């Protein structure tokens, strides 16, 4: 079994990975702002349904995220088609997961924008590792 702490320590010690992580956070923060702004616009101004708002905002933000992370954060030299397929698979999982979680949190009485922010934070945790180790490798 892989020792998670030693792998995490390896990632933290590597200066190139630290720079990648900082870029990832900057792109992620921008992506989150785009996604949250669009989600709020779709829900509050256009009055779209929750799932439609979430999926629409996520598609727009994810397109931005893929382009900038691939070209700037991770400087991926890997096959574009492979990266795109892997990214889209993760996108599908993240979208289903986030829509499910937001819907449940709203059903439990949580404000929808807060549920969206919480869910975005959860997704962010596993995305960096998958981008770094699998998608943009």
pLDDT per position as a tens digit, 59-101: 999 899 999 999 999 888 778 999 999 999 998 999 899 999 9
Asked whether the beta carbons of 83 and 135 are under 8 A apart, the reply is: yes
Banded model confidence at residue 1, pLDDT cuts 50, 70, 90: very low
Spatial separation of the C-alpha atoms in residues 113 and 127, rounded to whole Å: 21
Comparing 42 with 128, the larger pLDDT belongs to 42
- Tokens 């590597």 found at: 14
Asked whether the beta carbons of 76 and 131 are under 8 A apart, the reply is: no
Percent of the chain with pLDDT over 90: 58
Q: What is this structure's pTM?
A: 0.73
């Amino acid at each position: 079994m892989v020792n998670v702490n030693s792998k995490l320590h390896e990632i933290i010690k590597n200066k190139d990975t630290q720079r990648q992580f900082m870029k990832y956070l900057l792109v992620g923060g921008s992506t989150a702002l785009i996604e949250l702004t669009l989600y709020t616009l779709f829900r509050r101004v256009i009055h779209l349904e929750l799932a439609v708002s979430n999926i629409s905002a996520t598609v727009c933000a994810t397109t931005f995220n893929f382009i900038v992370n691939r070209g700037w954060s991770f400087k991926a030299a890997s096959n574009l088609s492979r990266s795109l397929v892997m990214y889209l698979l993760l996108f599908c999982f993240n979208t289903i997961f986030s829509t499910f979680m937001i819907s449940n949190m709203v059903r439990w009485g949580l404000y929808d924008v807060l549920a969206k922010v919480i869910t975005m934070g959860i997704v962010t945790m596993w995305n960096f590792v998958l981008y770094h180790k699998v998608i943009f490798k």
